[in-house]
Structure 1
Amino acid sequence: MSNEFLNSSTLYNTPSFLKGVARVIDLFGQLDEYDYKKTEKEADAEALRRDWYIVGQDIFDGVEKYERGSRQPNQV
């Protein structure tokens, strides 16, 4: 999976300065876009999938960091 997967959210938009300025002008909420799921169960499954993917990435990164550290000579 790409890093874009980790930086995106299914429930809300990422704020930016330009979007904030546009929202000041947008009186009727036409700029709001959300990724609605058909059911709550589908939304929960997507959130859990993303959460466990991130947990797996954290474990992978930790193991990789540990392996790099164990290759270095012991320093006193």
Structure 2
Amino acid sequence: MISNHLSLVEHHRPQADRISEKIAQFLAAGGQIDELPSPPRNPIPPARSTRIDPETVLKRKPRKLTLAERRALRKMADSL
């Protein structure tokens, strides 16, 4: 099977070679590479409660005026 990613590997090979050279220079100069433990993973947040606090005031959009209410309001406005 032919890999489509082979050209990407060859494309990035010069950068990988430069990094390898820099690492070799660092180690030759007395540098030391430490392998540290991985950082802790982010914990999954606790599940949200389905209970609603009775003191919470829910803000809901007011219903739109019906056609009959708009006509009545128009009549009232015209009578003024």
TM-score norm. by structure 1 comes to 0.28
TM-score norm. by structure 2 comes to 0.27
Higher share of residues assigned helix: 1
Tell me which of the two structures has the higher relative contact order, counting C-alpha pairs closer than 8 angstroms and 6 or more residues apart. Answer: 1
Query: Whose radius of gyration is greater, 1 or 2?
Result: 2
